[in-house]
A and B are shown apart, each in its own frame.
Chain A
């Protein structure tokens, strides 16, 4: 059973709000940021990814080399990735905004990460969770 909560991202400012996902009391993106904290190359790319998120938050069209949906069509989960040279940051679109799920690397674990992102996205969709700027939403699946 997973417990979910959404935390508004202050790093990203724009028309479309961005949220970090908390799952079972861990904010996964924060954990990823801590993981790369001592790697200046990855940290630089992380900052760039946050900056591209802000372009999306302001409804700008950006290159699909930076931001790409991971599935399309009727059964789509709305999962996407922000891409840099070495990093991948996975998220999903919901009616109230964009949810950043977790971060990973460009490596042989990408397919596994994409499956994980979609699995989490499906749980959130099944629970009918939507983000709200002023409230913390926690539901158990």
Chain B
């Protein structure tokens, strides 16, 4: 499977959230030195519900997600990013090729991309409606 296909899948982002929730609940249980039953009592939910969360199978209502977060003294901060930007940032595909970005898009002035060859620092040319970014040089930090 291509990396892009995985990044475009709902399963990938669901697992990210489930894994983070599992971590947070797990840390809370450990720090409070309580068990699943006690946690369920504190959150006014069933033990089965807590088991679902701790099995990494959480897929409930958004309101419940927020309540769970607050109950373990955390707040979920949600940030949306452009999917294409996420894919491009990961791929490191810009070696020796210009990248055309829309103005007001990425913070391309300070872009650094990483790939197996090292990291790349970029210089930029600015045109009226779009920015063209060229690779200056390869900076190998190894």
A binds B: yes
Q: Could you tell me how many residues of chain A have their Cβ less than 8 Å away from some Cβ of chain B? A: 22
Q: Which residues of B contact A46 (CB under 8 A)?
A: 1
User: Do the beta carbons of A63 and B12 come within 8 Å of each other?
Assistant: no
Instruction: Given A11-B3, A33-B1, A63-B22, verify A47-B54 contact (CB < 8 Å).
Output: no
Q: Tell me, yes or no, whether B127 is within 8 Å of chain A by CB.
A: no
Partner among B15, B26, B90, B116 whose Cβ is within 8 Å of the Cβ of A48: B15
- Proximity string of chain A (1-24) to chain B, C-beta cutoff 8 Å, 1 when within and 0 when not: 000000000110100000000000
Q: Which residues of A contact B116 (CB under 8 A)?
A: 133-134
In the complex, which of the residues B1, B14, B22 has the most CB atoms of chain A within 10 Å of its own CB atom? Answer: B1
Please report whether the interface of chain B is mostly helix, strand, loop or mixed according to DSSP. helix
- Proximity string of chain A (44-59) to chain B, C-beta cutoff 8 Å, 1 when within and 0 when not: 1111101110110000
Partner among B1, B9, B15 whose Cβ is within 8 Å of the Cβ of A52: B15
Q: Which residues of A contact B14 (CB under 8 A)?
A: 48, 51
A140 to B116, alpha carbons, bound, how many Å?
A: 29
Give the distance to chain A from B47, nearest Cβ to Cβ, in Å: 16
A62 to B58, alpha carbons, bound, how many Å?
A: 13
In the complex, which of the residues B11, B22, B26, B54 has the most CB atoms of chain A within 10 Å of its own CB atom? Answer: B11
Instruction: Given A47-B6, A48-B15, verify A63-B23 contact (CB < 8 Å).
Output: no
Q: Which residues of B contact A66 (CB under 8 A)?
A: 55-56
Q: Which residues of A contact B55 (CB under 8 A)?
A: 63, 65-66
Measuring CB to CB, which residues of chain A are less than 8 angstroms from any residue of chain B? 10-11, 13, 33, 44-48, 50-52, 54-55, 60-63, 65-66, 133-134
Measuring CB to CB, which residues of chain B are less than 8 angstroms from any residue of chain A? 1-3, 6, 9, 11-12, 14-16, 19, 22-23, 26, 54-57, 90, 116
- List the 10 shortest-distance A-B pairs measured between CB atoms, nearest first: A51-B15, A47-B11, A63-B56, A48-B11, A65-B55, A51-B12, A47-B9, A55-B19, A66-B56, A10-B3
